[in-house]
Structure formats: structure tokens, C-alpha cells
A and B are shown apart, each in its own frame.
Chain A
Amino acid sequence: MSRHTNAKTEEAELLQGTLDLLILKVVALGPIHGYGMVQRIQQISNEALQIRQGSLYPALYRLESHGWLKAEWKTTEGGREAKFYSLTRVGHQRLKAETESWNRLCSAISLVLQAAE
């Protein structure tokens, strides 16, 4: 999927590193498979955030190798086998830390933006 197709104005490009944060947050809500994560993120963000599906899985594998996520094959409601991800203890701490620093960053940026107006 090329960049041009999802360059609609109402869809925000994901900042570097925010994908990890989104994944951690969504997984924190309960065990979920990759496809579910894409749906959930789009749903919660009112379709504003489009995940590049091709980059989701490398990110999942990276988080798993960091030990923040753990994965397990389970049966879905539809009766199919899917790989479900959940947060580890370290993952929870990581989410907390990342959320805090994200919030700090956001408030700092909005302060700057307000002052500049």
C-alpha cells in the first residue's frame, strides 16, 4: 500500500513510534489478534487513524521480542484459530511510561501552539 492512497486529509499519518503505543494500548484492553487491532484502532479513532497493515506485524513481532507482548494461538468466536496477543507485566509498565511521555509531549506541543497563536 503506497503512501498516496491513504493521504486523505482527514486521516492522520502515524508519527514514528506511536504505532507501538497504540498497539500496547489496544492490547491492554484484552487479548486480541492482529486483525482485531486494526479494526479496533480505526473504530476508536473514528476512522481517523489508518494502520498500514503491512507494518503492523513487524511491530508486533518486535514488541514480542522485547518481551512486552506475549502471544498464544486461540480459537476466535467465529471458531477459527488466531494468534492472540496480550500484555506482559513489563508491557504494562512500558505502556504506562509511554503514555506519560506522550501526554507530556502533547501538552508541551499544545502549550507552544497556544503561545504562538
Chain B
Amino acid sequence: MLWDALFRRSRWERSLAAELRFHLEQQVRDYEARGMSREEAQRKAYREFGGMDLAKEECRDQRPLVWLEQALQDIRYAGRLLARNRTFSAVAILSLALGIGATTSVFSVVDRILFRGLPYGEADRLVSIGVGAPMLPYDFMFGASYLEFRRHQTVFPAVTSWSGVNDCDLTSGEPTRLLCASVESSFLSTLGVVPALGRSFTAEEDAPNQPRTVLLSYGIWQSRFGGHADTLGRTISVDGEPSRVVGVLPPDFETPTLAHADLVVPQRLDDATLQRAVTGRPLRAIARLRPGMSIAAAQAAADSMVARALAGMPAGALAREVKPHVGTLRDLRVGDAKAVAWILFGAVLAVLLLACANVANLQMARTEARRRELAMRAALGAGRMRLIRQAVTESLVLAALGGLCGLALAGVLLKVLVNAAPAGIPQLSQATLDARVLAFTLVCSVASGLIFGLGVRGRFRQASIVIQLAFSLALLSAAGLLLRALWRYQHIPLGMETQQVLTASLSLSPQRYPSAERRLAFSEALEERLRSEGMFAAVAIGDSRPPDVPLRSKPLAVQQIDGRPQDSPAQGTMVWRAVTPGYFRALGVPILKGRGFTEQDRDRGRNVIIVSQSLARRLFHDGDPVGHFIGGAQIVGTAADVRNSGGTARDDPEYYVPRNHAADAPIYSAADELRRVVAIVRTPLGPEYAARAIRSTVARMDASLPVEVEALSESAGRLSVRPRFNALLLGVFAGLGLLLSALGTYGVLGILVAQRTREIGIRIALGATPHAMAVMVLGNAMRWVAAGLVLGGALSLALARALTSMLYGMTAYDPAAWTLAAAVLAATGFAAAWRPARRAARVDPVEALRHD
């Protein structure tokens, strides 16, 4: 029966007919046998049987796999319909593809940043605890307070600390610069991370003067050590110090801030060391909450602990400044990628909304147009369920086609995103297309098509076009703002001449260079040797180089000017670098007032500084800063502003101090000072050749020291990578959104004109000019655009406020960007209405009146 039912329809049908005929004939024969006339018997038999066709139809419905057959029928029918309405199909499929493609690819990226679970055990119970300060972008604690906190807190089942990620050098084999995360021994266990191989540190190993131990990241274990199990127990040389490998981290390990780490080493702070560390290197503390404990409860506990700790101290500035902050680990790690991710996410939702609105609109318009066809099919006996199923099938066929195109688009877009992205967007390179998201967007678009295909009507259509246009305007103005900000950002003068300048960065390990004297001696020897090479026009040594952020910063407000506190303390932060006199010449930074540094400024006891122009303006307004004192240092000159934000924020005011010859000078007092050395040279030679010369000079001094040589033009070029990426992304979305609203306007107007062909024909027959008809259609579109502009203006205002952090100091209320966005939208609306308007003008009244 199955075989017959599926593949031998006619035979099956014949059998059914024969069976029913047999039944009736038998009945008639019986009645005749009881004495009825043949006609009477036939009438009675037929009457008693009931509707023959209905019975047959019901039998057919019992056929196995009948649903499959009907589905195929529906799909064929849907395919025919879609092929016949090419405009509708193309617009709908394109909308779906754009919506699904864009949403899926971008969501696949931000999902890893915003929503993916952290690779820690019960990660939602982990919080970061610390005090905030203007100088540091993260919450921290100093050693002594952390020790106090760890000893006396009773609220958290576990607390741990780490000191962030720093450069370190793998000095066995070929010297390599790596990144080391320094952590407390309880770090991994508190985070719930189990090493893939071996073990974590013991508390004993996490103490000063203990033989050093190290955990390898999975990546380094694979690439440097071939993934061999016998790496465990081997001794490698880190910063010149022998270190025993005790474990390998799991492949998905990441530091809480997502900073990349190749090695995890003990921070080697025992209680005694911590006790002494009242200031100095800040620690980052992480605590595990009890199950069910809220962040608010943790915050309250931290507040009361700080209050207790401060109870014995005199009330003062410190007490007011110290405010503990408890935040989730997730907040900590997404940091500044978060704003970008949320804005992207919003943009993507807007695009999805536009796509859904398009499909819904088109379906609605079509359902109205097909009212007659549906009524006729219902009258001819099509069941209500069957008609609904037909509509659903049609939507599904559309969705399948749109989904396929969308999938292809998503793959391409994701590749583009990953390639265009600057470093520092966490985990971007691991992003893959997310099947769940694909399914979600598909369901959204199909559902919107279905709901509206099944007969929601009314004024929704026009409202939805207006909403689409409004969202497009918001996206456009946001993209416009970012592009303008990018343009300005790229046109801010660098403040230095980057051509023909090379920089060489290295970091002196505390093992090989244990004292400040040794480190200073190395950097002065390096300066001397580079100078004596004779191939460099200028040589300078610094601790960092622009446009990277200087290592040190201070709040502006605490500085005394000429021995007095400031009358009205300046807001913000200033940053500083310690440099040799050649610095300004090597980088081509002009000295605007006063003089540059001289060799005498480096003598013991000298205390002079050079301020940047912006710092001078902040502290002295229009007055001449030269000769004044900041703290104990006399200002000898003003230098032009140099970009120093590293490309992530606005530039800060800066000052320079000369690198003193005395290792015990106050500028070197902080721990780890003098560790980083950056040599800056200006040279007429080719960069390759000069780089080789620098490398060999360093190698002659210390062969195990890794050195990074880079052309300054390259580092400066990285400045605008981030803003360019942001602008690119939003630009793509604005383009997509615009395209979608144009498609929507075009599609709906087209269907409207087609529906009103008869009316337009009558009007033309009654004397209306074709021109007037075109104007009518265009006017329709322009009314929508106008409403969209008003609504979109409000949306843009709200969005602009959210964008502020990405504008690099530019105001969000940029009339040029906004006017441009509005003009683009209006032009697009007009263009989308053009073809339907022309079609309206070309309606032939005779043809139109004959039209159905």
C-alpha cells in the first residue's frame, strides 16, 4: 500500500474507487432483493453512504506520507508563485540574506566578548575587588591592604591576587620576548582552573628567593616544546633565571583581563613582603562569592572592611578617596571592547529589525493582493488548514533561500571583520559562525513573515516603513559621526616626524640586572655605543616612546605650582617620560619656548622639566611657563604636543624629565624603574640596515637580551587602526540598513502601484496627467521619509550619547554628520520611489481598465 500510495497514485485511486463502487452496488443489490425498484434502491444507497467525494478525500488523507506529498505540492506551488512575483521574491530574499548574514556574523564576534561563559569554574561567583584611582584603569589594592583583607575577611570562601601581565624574556635557546602573568599560588584554584598537565604552584614556591617555577600556556607548550609530556620538570630560562616547568595550562585558559599570557609565574610575594608593600606595585584581587551571595552583599562587606581598616586613621583626603569597588569578572575582562561590542550589537539588532520589517511588509502587501485568489481557493474546497499550510510553506521556501544566501554572506563578512580588526579585540580570531544565532535570526525573519502573511493588517505597513527609515537614519548618523571623528583623529598632527626614525625596545630582567645602578649603567652604555656608531643623526634613550602611552601618570590636581596648591585644581591626568637630551631631536619634536635638555641637566641634584604645550596651557593658561616650578622641578622649556594615547583614547598632557646620571635620583625611585629601555634613533640609512646595526650593538652588550626594533612610522600608523575599524563596522551596518529600507520602500511602493493600477488608470482616463500620478507616488514616499527623519532624529540623539566614548573627544552633536545622514536618507527614499513612480506614470488607461 505504501508503495502504491506514494508512487502509483492512479492505481491507488482506481482501487479506492472500485472498493467504494463495490460497496454501493452491493447495497443497491440488497435493496433490490428486498423488493425496491432499482432507482429507489440506488437513491437510498447513495443517501445512506453520504458524500462520496468527501469520503474519498478523507481516505486520501489517511495515506501514509500524505503530508510529504502535500508539502512537495505546496513547495512546487510556492516556487511557481515566487518565480511569478520576481520583485517581491528578490526583495524578500535579499532582505533576509542581508539581515541574517550581518546579524549572524557580527553576533558571532560580539558573542565571545559579551555573552560567552568565562572558562572558569562557576565563573558567575567570581568578583574583582579593589579601590579605583584616577591613575589606573583598573581596581587594585596595595600589598599591605590586600594582606589585611585576606587575613581578616570572613565573607568570601576564597580570595586571590595577581599582578597583571608583563614582558618577560625566554632566554634559553633563541631569546624571545614573551608575556608573563604573575599570580598568587591560590590563583588557579580560586578561579577553578585545572592545569591540563602537571600542577599549579604551591604557597612555598610563591615566595621571594625560592627557586622559580613556571606554568606554560597551551600554545607555547605546543609551539616551543612540541607538546611533549616530558616538558614537565624541565628547566627553562626566564629573564635569565632558571625556572622549572611544573604544569601546562588548559587550551582555553585566559587571564581575567583577557591580556595575553604565554607563561604564568608566581608573583613571589609572601606575607612579610606584602606587609611591607604599603605602596608600590598594585595587586588585583579576585574573590569567590558564596553560592547565592549577591554583588551588592559583597560590596557591602567590602565597604565595611575598608571602614574598619580606616577607623584608626585620621580622616583626610585618603579616606575620602578610598572607595572599594566590587565588580563581576565579566565586566573586568571586556573593558573597553565592551562599548564597541554593545554598539555593534545594537546596530545588528537594528539591521535585523529592518530585515524583519521588510519581509513582514512584503508579505502583508502580498496577502492583500492575493485576497481574491485565497477566497476562490477556499470556495473551491481548500481546507483552512491547507491554506495556512500553503502560506507557511511559502514563507519557509523564502526563508530557506534567504537563509542560504545569508549564510554565505555571513561567512564573507566574518572573514572581513576578523581581518580588519585591530589587535586587542578579545578572542576575535577564534570567532566562528554561530549556528544558534543563525537559527535565531532565521526564526525571527520567518516568524515576522508568517505573522504578517497570515493577515495582520491596518496602518502597520506605513508605520513600519517609517520606523525602518528612522532606524536607518540613526545608523547613518552614527556612522557619519564615527567617520568624521576618524577623519579628524587622523588629521590631528602627530607632533613628531616619524620618517627615518627607528625605535628599539628591550626590558632588563631583575635577575641579570638586579640593581638600579646596573640597569642605568646598561642604558647609558647603550646610548654611548649607539652614538659612537656614527650612522645615526640623533640618538635618545627613553623608558617609552610615543604614540604609546607613557608608563607613568599622575592626577593633575595634586601638583603644587611654585610651592603652592593650585587655586582651581585642574581636572584629569598628566603623563610623563624620562628621556635623554637627544629625545626631542631624534623624534623631531619642536621646543616651542625656553630650551631643550642639556647634558648638565642629567647631573645629580638637578631637577628640571619640560612640559608639553597642552600641559602648559592647563596649568598656566596663557602665561609663560618657563621658570615656574611644578613640584620641586623648574620648567626650562615647552615642547609641542605629541600623540600619546596609544590610539585608544584622547591624548593626555605630558611632561619630560631628563634621565639623571644618578641611579638614586628620585625619578628612578619606583620599583622596576629603569627596567624598560627604549632607544630612539634618527638615521639617514635604510631601515633594514639601521635595524641590523642596532640589533648587533645590543647583542654585543648582552646576547641573551631580546630586542624589538620597529620603524616609528609603523607604530604611529597603528594609532588609527581602532577608530578605523569602528567606523568601518558602523559604516557597513549603516549601508546595510540603508539598503534594507530602500528595498522596503521600493517593494511596498511597487506593490501599492500594482494594486492601484486600475484606480490610476481611471484617474488618467478622467484627465489626470501621468506626471501628477508619478508625483502622487513620490509624494507618498517623501511623506514617509519626512516622518522617518523626525523619528530618526530622536533616535540618533539617543545613540549619539552612547557613542561619545568612541568619538575621541569630538562632540556628538556634529551638524555636518547629521545633515549628511538626513540628505543620504532622503535621496535614498527618493531613488527607491523612482521606479514605482515611473510605472504609475506609464499606466495605460485602456489596459488598466481591462485589468481584471
What residues of chain A have their CB less than 8 Å away from a CB belonging to chain B?
Answer: 1, 5, 33-35, 52-55, 57-58, 61-62, 64-65, 71, 73, 80-83
Interface locus among B56-64, B413-421, B562-570, B732-740: B56-64
6 A-B pairs with CB atoms under 8 Å apart are A1-B47, A34-B19, A58-B59, A82-B19, A82-B22, A83-B19
Q: Is the interface on chain B under 10, 10 to 19, 20 to 34, or 35 or more residues?
A: 20 to 34
Partner of A57, one of B26, B47, B48, B59: B59
Out of B1, B15, B23, B55, name the residue touching A35 (CB < 8 Å): B23
**Minimal beta-carbon separation of B292 from chain A (angstroms):** 49
In the complex, the answer to whether B1 meets A64 with C-beta atoms within 8 Å is: yes
Query: Of A1, A34, A55, A61, which contacts B63 at CB under 8 A?
Result: A61
Interface mask (B788-805 → A, CB under 8 Å = 1, otherwise 0):
000000000000000000
The answer to whether B19 touches A57 (Cβ under 8 A) is yes
Chain A residues near B15 (CB-CB < 8 A):
73, 83
Q: Which chain B positions have C-beta within 8 A of A34?
A: 19, 22-23
Chain B residues near A80: list those with CB within 8 A: 22
Known: A53-B49, A54-B51. A65 touches B19 (CB 8 A): no
Asked if B20 CB lies within 8 Å of chain A CBs, one says yes
- Per-residue CB contact flags for chain B residues 1-22 toward chain A (1 = under 8 Å, else 0) read 1000000000000011011101
Q: A58-B59, A58-B61, A61-B59 are in contact. Are A52 and B19 (CB under 8 A)?
A: no
Taking a contact as CB atoms under 8 Å apart, the answer to whether A33 and B22 are in contact is yes
**B19, B50, B59, B63, most chain A CB atoms within 10 A:** B19
Across-interface contacts of A58 in B (CB, < 8 A): 55, 58-59, 61-62
A114 and B61 alpha carbons, distance in the complex (Å)? 42
| Sample of 12 more A-B contacts, CB < 8 Å, known A33-B22, A54-B52, A55-B58 | A1-B50, A34-B22, A35-B26, A53-B49, A54-B49, A55-B50, A57-B16, A57-B23, A58-B61, A71-B1, A80-B22, A81-B18
Report the separation of the CA atoms of residues A55 and B63 in the bound assembly, to the nearest whole angstrom.
15
Q: Are B55 and A65 in contact (CB under 8 A)?
A: no
Q: Which residues of B contact A57 (CB under 8 A)?
A: 16, 19-20, 23, 55, 58-59
**In the complex with contacts A35-B26, A80-B22, A82-B22, A61-B62 CB distance below 8 A:** yes
What is the minimal beta-carbon distance from A7 to any residue of chain B, in angstroms? 14
What is the 8 Å Cβ interface bit string for chain B, positions 691-727, against chain A (1 contact, 0 not)? Answer: 0000000000000000000000000000000000000
Q: Which residue of B lies closest to A65 (CB)?
A: B64
Complex interface: chain A residues within 8 A of B16 (CB): 57
B25, closest chain A residue (CB): A80
CB neighbours of A81 from chain B (8 A): 18, 22
Given contacts A1-B48, A35-B27, A82-B22, contact A54 B62 (CB under 8 A): no
Nearest residue, chain A, Cβ from B27: A35
B residues in contact with A73, CB < 8 Å: 15
Give the interface SS of chain A, mostly helix, strand, loop or mixed: helix
A52 CA to B61 CA, complexed, in Å: 18
Q: Which of B37-79 contact A (CB under 8 A)?
A: 47-52, 54-55, 58-59, 61-64
How many whole Å from A64's CB to the nearest CB in chain B? Answer: 6
Instruction: Tell me if B50 and A35 are in contact (CB < 8 A).
Output: no
Contact indicator A62/B51 (Cβ below 8 Å): no
Q: Are B22 and A35 in contact (CB under 8 A)?
A: yes
Q: Is B49 a contact partner of A1 (Cβ separation < 8 A)?
A: yes
Q: Which residues of chain A have C-beta atoms less than 8 A from B64's C-beta? A: 65
Closest to B19 in A: A83
Are B62 and A62 neighbours in the complex by a CB distance under 8 Å? yes
B48 in complex: contacting residue of A53, A62, A64, A82, CB < 8 Å: A53
By a CB distance below 8 angstroms, the chain B residues around A64 are 1, 62
Q: Which of B67-112 contact A (CB under 8 A)?
A: none
Nearest A residue (CB) for B30: A39
Q: Chain A residues near B49 (CB, 8 Å)?
A: 1, 53-54
How distant is A40 from chain B, measured CB to nearest CB, in Å?
13
- In the complex the two chains form, what is the Cα distance from A65 to B23 in whole Å? 21
* Cα distance, A103 to B274, chains bound together (Å): 84
Complex contacts, B27 vs chain A, CB 8 Å: 35
A65 touches B1 (CB 8 A): yes
Tell me the bound Cα distance from A18 to B16 in angstroms.
24
Give 6 nearest A-B pairs by CB, closest first. Answer: A54-B50, A61-B62, A58-B58, A1-B50, A35-B26, A54-B55
Whether the pair A65, B62 counts as a contact (CB closer than 8 A) is yes
Distance in Å: Cβ of A11 to nearest Cβ of chain B: 13
Bound together, the chains give a CA A94 to CA B16 distance in angstroms of 25
Report the minimal beta-carbon distance from B278 to chain A, rounded to whole angstroms: 84
Chain A minimum-CB-distance residue to B54? A54
What residue of chain B has the Cβ atom nearest to residue A80's Cβ? B22
Asked, given contacts A1-B50, A58-B61, whether A53 binds B1 with beta carbons under 8 Å apart, the answer is no
Identify the closest chain A residue to B50 (Cβ): A54
Expressed in whole angstroms, the Cα–Cα distance for A5 and B48 within the complex equals 9
Q: How far is the CA of A58 from the CA of B27 in the complex (A)?
A: 19
The residue that A53 contacts in the complex, of B19, B50, B62, with Cβ under 8 A, is B50
Q: Determine the chain B residues whose CB is within 8 A of the CB of A61 once the complex forms.
A: 59, 62-63
Q: How far is the CA of A61 from the CA of B5 in the complex (A)?
A: 11
Report the bound CA distance from A58 to B47 in whole Å: 18
B59 CB contacts on chain A under 8 angstroms: 57-58, 61
Min Cβ gap A58→B in Å is 4
- Chain B nearest CB, measured from A53 CB (Å): 5
User: Once the chains are docked, how many angstroms separate the CA of A83 from the CA of B19?
Assistant: 6
Question: A85–B663 Cα gap in the complex (Å)?
Answer: 108
The answer, among A54, A55, A62, A83, for a CB contact under 8 Å with B22, is A83
In the complex, which residue of chain B has the Cβ closest to the Cβ of A6? B48
CB-CB under 8 A from B19, the residues of chain A are: 33-34, 57, 82-83
Measured between alpha carbons, how far is A29 from B26 in the docked complex, in Å? 21
Pick from B18, B50, B51, B62 the residue with the most CB of A within 10 Å: B62
> How close is A87's CB to chain B, nearest CB, in angstroms?
15
Which residues on A sit within 8 Å (CB–CB) of B58?
54-55, 57-58
- Whether the Cβ atoms of A52 and B50 lie closer than 8 Å is yes
Nearest CB to that of A63 among chain B residues?
B62
Q: Which residue of chain B has its CB nearest to the CB of A83?
A: B19
| Chain B min CB distance to A47 (Å) | 13
Q: What is the minimal beta-carbon distance from B121 to any residue of chain A, in angstroms? A: 52
**Shortest Cβ distance from A54 into B: residue:** B50
Chain B residue nearest in CB terms to A1: B50
A65 CA to B66 CA in the complex, in Å?
A: 11
B11 to chain A, nearest CB (A): 12
Question: A65 touching B63 by the CB < 8 A rule?
Answer: yes
Most buried by A among B20, B23, B63: B23
Q: Please give me the residue from chain A that is nearest to B55 by CB atom.
A: A54
Write the chain B residue with the least CB distance to A34.
B23
In the assembled complex, the Cα of A5 lies from the Cα of B47 at a distance in Å of 10
Task: List the A residue with the shortest CB-CB distance to B26.
Answer: A35
Chain A residues with CB under 8 A of B55: 53-55, 57-58
Q: Which residue of A lies closest to B66 (CB)?
A: A65
Q: Which residues of A contact B50 (CB under 8 A)?
A: 1, 52-55
The complex places the Cα of A80 from the Cα of B23 at a distance, in Å, of 11
Contacts of B61 in A (CB 8 A): 58
Q: Which of B26, B52, B54 has the most CB of A within 10 A?
A: B26
Of listed A61, A62, A81, residue having the most chain B CB within 10 A: A61
Minimum distance in angstroms from A42 CB to a CB of chain B: 11
Distance of A58 Cα from B59 Cα, bound (Å): 4
Q: Smallest CB-CB separation from A70: which chain B residue?
A: B1
A31 nearest CB across to chain B (Å): 14
Q: How far is the CA of A83 from the CA of B643 in the complex (A)?
A: 94
The chain B residue sitting closest to A2, CB to CB, is: B50
**Interfacial chain A residues near B62, Cβ < 8 Å:** 58, 61-62, 64-65
Q: Separation in Å of the B57 CB from the closest CB of chain A?
A: 9
A33 to B51 CA separation, bound complex (whole angstroms): 20
Please indicate the chain A residues that have their CB under 8 angstroms from the CB of B23 in the complex: 33-35, 53, 57
Residue of A nearest to B51 (CB): A54
CB distance from A8 to the nearest CB of B (A): 14
> Complex: how many Å from CA A1 to CA B22?
19
Complex interface bits, B600-614 against A, C-beta within 8 A gives 1, otherwise 0: 000000000000000
Which chain B residues border A62 with CB–CB below 8 Å? 62
CB distance from A33 to the nearest CB of B (A): 7
